[in-house]
């Protein structure tokens, strides 16, 4: 059984990206820049934003964090985004979610230029993904990271049955769309499950590749998994744990202890899918920079 080590892969990828950033600097005397906007003071969001900024710096990219007060109006936020759309030194714009209730997330998504939408949430990027034009879009970072893991671990996907559980716009839908594309890394047959799916275990037991993006701790049990399946656990759930200083620990959607006994490969939580998300955000930002400067990938 292989433990898919997202921490290691993301670290390797960051080293590769660092070299590419340096090569860009030498070629055009500029480096990619990511701007993250955070509205309000949600502590978890502040941690995510800090980590994104830190990762940018580690690989030599510019990073700016714009902190706006909770009471920022939608108009003010949209004006800020418009200014960033027009700033040639900004290659990626990310607005940290969740946003305060008075701000319409859809309006914010629509305001970001698709060419700087490194989260891959804009309908133009989603549309290009559905069309299979990965060279013309940004792919949502978590599914993109899973693709990278499958590829780096040489997991056979062609013609395999992939069952994706979850249909959110940021994970489930783009994941399912990626997996059935006629690409070297995908080309699977895909089934999507959600909260209204009947007889879900019957479907999950048919999966050669099972991707759980649900948000329910340990929902996927051993009896729901085919022996030899590849299991990708996207879930990040906090469960109470009195032995920890924080009072909780992170756990996935998959009962790792028992499922790992029969899976051929599995991602742990933490240390599986999670670390890949920021790495792919950096990759998308570099991609945006390269497109802006007409630099071909070597």
Q: Give the residue among 221, 224, 166, 223 at the shortest CA–CA distance from 195.
A: 166
Active site residues: 52, 96, 119
Q: How far is the CB of 189 from ligand NAP (least distance, A)?
A: 19
Compare residues 167 and 258 and give the one whose CB is closer to ligand NAP.
Answer: 167
Q: Give the residue among 280, 256, 278, 277 at the shortest CA–CA distance from 268.
A: 256
Compare residues 48 and 180 and give the one whose CB is closer to ligand NAP.
Answer: 48
Compare residues 198 and 243 and give the one whose CB is closer to ligand NAP.
Answer: 198
Q: How far is the CB of 145 from ligand NAP (least distance, A)?
A: 7
Q: Is 161 helix (H, G, I), strand (E, B) or coil?
A: strand
Compare residues 19 and 194 and give the one whose CB is closer to ligand NAP.
Answer: 194
Q: How far is the CB of 132 from ligand NAP (least distance, A)?
A: 22
Could you tell me where the beta strands, DSSP code E, fall in 81-184? Answer: 92-95, 161-165
Contacts of 136 (CB under 8 A, 6+ apart): 128
Contacts of 163 (CB under 8 A, 6+ apart): 190, 191, 192, 193, 203, 204, 206, 207, 209, 210, 211
Q: How far is the CB of 236 from ligand NAP (least distance, A)?
A: 4
β-pairing, 161-165 vs 209-212, is: parallel
* Site residues for ligand NAP per CB under 6 A: 142, 165-168, 170-172, 193-197, 200, 213-216, 219, 234-237, 273-274, 277
């Amino acid at each position: 059984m292989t433990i898919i080590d997202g921490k290691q892969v993301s670290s390797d990828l960051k080293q590769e990206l660092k070299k590419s950033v340096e090569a860009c600097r030498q070629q055009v005397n500029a480096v990619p820049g990511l701007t993250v906007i955070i509205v309000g003071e949600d502590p978890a969001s502040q941690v995510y934003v800090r980590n994104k900024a830190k990762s940018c710096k580690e690989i030599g990219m510019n990073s700016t964090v714009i902190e706006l007060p909770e009471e920022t109006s939608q108009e003010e936020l949209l004006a800020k985004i418009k200014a960033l759309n027009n700033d040639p030194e900004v290659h990626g714009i990310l607005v940290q979610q969740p946003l305060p209730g008075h701000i319409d997330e859809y309006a914010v998504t629509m305001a970001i230029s698709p060419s700087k939408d490194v989260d891959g949430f804009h309908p133009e990027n989603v549309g290009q993904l559905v069309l299979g034009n990965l060279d013309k879009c940004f792919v949502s970072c978590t599914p993109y990271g899973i693709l990278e893991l499958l590829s780096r671990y040489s997991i056979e996907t062609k013609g395999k049955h992939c069952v994706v559980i979850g249909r959110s716009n940021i994970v489930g839908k783009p994941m399912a769309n990626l997996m059935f594309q006629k690409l070297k890394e995908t080309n699977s047959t895909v089934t999507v499950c959600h909260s209204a799916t009947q007889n879900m275990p019957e479907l999950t037991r048919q999966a050669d590749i099972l991707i759980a993006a649900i948000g329910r701790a340990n929902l996927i049990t051993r009896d729901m998994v085919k022996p030899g399946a590849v299991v990708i656990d996207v879930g990040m759930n906090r469960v109470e744990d009195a032995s920890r200083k924080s009072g909780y620990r992170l756990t996935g959607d998959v009962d790792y202890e028992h499922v790992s006994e029969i899976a051929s490969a599995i991602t742990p939580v933490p240390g599986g899918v999670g670390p890949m998300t920021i790495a792919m955000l950096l990759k998308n930002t570099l991609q945006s920079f390269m497109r802006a400067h007409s630099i071909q990938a070597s």
